[in-house]
Amino acid sequence: MLPPAPDTVLEVRDLRTFFRTDGHVVKAVDGVSFTVRRGETLGLVGESGSGKSVACLSALRLLPAPPAFHPSGRILYRGHDLLAAPERELERLRGDRLAMIFQDPMTSLNPYLSVARQLTEVLEVHKAASPAAARRAAIAMLERVGIPDAGRRIDQHPHQFSGGMRQRVMIAMALLCEPEVLFADEPTTALDVTIQAQILELIAELQAALGTAVVLVTHDLGVVAGTTDRVAVMYAGRIVEEGTTAEVFANPLHPYTRGLLASLPRIDAPPRGRLDAIPGLPPDLGHLPSGCPFHPRCGLATDRCRRDRPPVAAVSPTHRAECFEAEAAR
């Protein structure tokens, strides 16, 4: 992990989040470290099951324990360790200074409560706003995220909204208190490209106005290229490559990162038939292979990769990878 800058808002150190299941332990996050500075966007990318969402939920202490537990790690917000913080302090921070846009809008909203109640409660609890002021602010935020006729629709229930509209409600809820750190877990999955661009622009406006730090979880490398300052590539619960967005896209060090980039269609390259694909499947996190966890899918794997865990190799002050090939390239 790169050393924290003076304006670092969130620092994750050697975070491990394991789950006890029948007969074995699932290592969903296994030694992850990263920092996010004020006004910066960090992209977390990787296949499903690589640990991106679990890392974000761990940072907010939203995982049920048991079965989740943390053998090691610190999550520092403004120097305070959230893993050691009492629940009352977390309740004060969550939804206010620390907010999250959840991945599934279908299940993240309470079906029994109106959208108005779910939005205004945030402001009434965290900002001591009056019901009338909270309602005005909620309607204004719904309009900003692209919900038409927001003054009428705010009194409807989630089942009266489409999936994309529910996603916008979730985004509005996360932004209402103008958080200092925003975890955005696939925030534009259910949205068309026009609304997606508007939502990403809204988040960028919030950053510019308030200096919000954003941790963006996404599979869309096009979004990563256009919106993030730094990228952390996750595989099997670990960060296997990290660097500025320009460095990672121009000079990917890890074979997994190269595989992800090679699987994308490009409009600036001639047609080449079928897209490249990474062979095989992600590993079972309860039964990880020895050595480098990517070696069963890697065309460059050697006996050393199958036997030993590669060290973290830094090729520049801001670019590192967990790969023997990257170590040799230094």
Q: What is the pLDDT of residues 109-149, one digit of tens each?
A: 999 999 999 999 999 999 999 999 999 999 999 998 889 99
What is the crossing angle of helices 163-175 and 193-210, to 10°? 0
Flag whether 247 is in a domain. yes
Flag whether 248 is in a domain. yes
Flag whether 119 is in a domain. no
Enter the DSSP assignment of 283.
P
Nearest-angstrom CA–CA distance, 233 and 253: 11
Going by DSSP bridges, is the β-strand pair 319-322/238-244 parallel, antiparallel, or unpaired? antiparallel
Nearest-angstrom CA–CA distance, 216 and 110: 24
- Mean pLDDT score across all residues of the chain: 89
Nearest-angstrom CA–CA distance, 162 and 184: 20
Flag whether 144 is in a domain. no
For the segment 17-43, what is each residue's pLDDT rounded down to a tens digit? Answer: 999 988 789 999 999 999 999 999 999
Structural domain harbouring 281: 8-97+177-328
Enter the DSSP assignment of 288.
P
Nearest-angstrom CA–CA distance, 34 and 213: 13
For residue 185, the cross-strand partners are 217
Instruction: Say what the pLDDT of residue 327 is.
Output: 66
Flag whether 165 is in a domain. no
For the segment 235-252, what is each residue's pLDDT rounded down to a tens digit? Answer: 999 999 999 999 999 999
Nearest-angstrom CA–CA distance, 330 and 322: 12
Query: Residue 328's pLDDT band (boundaries 50, 70, 90)?
Result: low
Enter the DSSP assignment of 290.
S
Flag whether 146 is in a domain. no
The token pair at 250 is 């121009």
CB 326 within 8 A of CB 254: yes
CATH number of the domain residue 59 falls in? 3.40.50.300
Query: Residue 206's pLDDT band (boundaries 50, 70, 90)?
Result: confident
Q: How many domains, in total, are found in the chain?
A: 1
Nearest-angstrom CA–CA distance, 232 and 236: 13
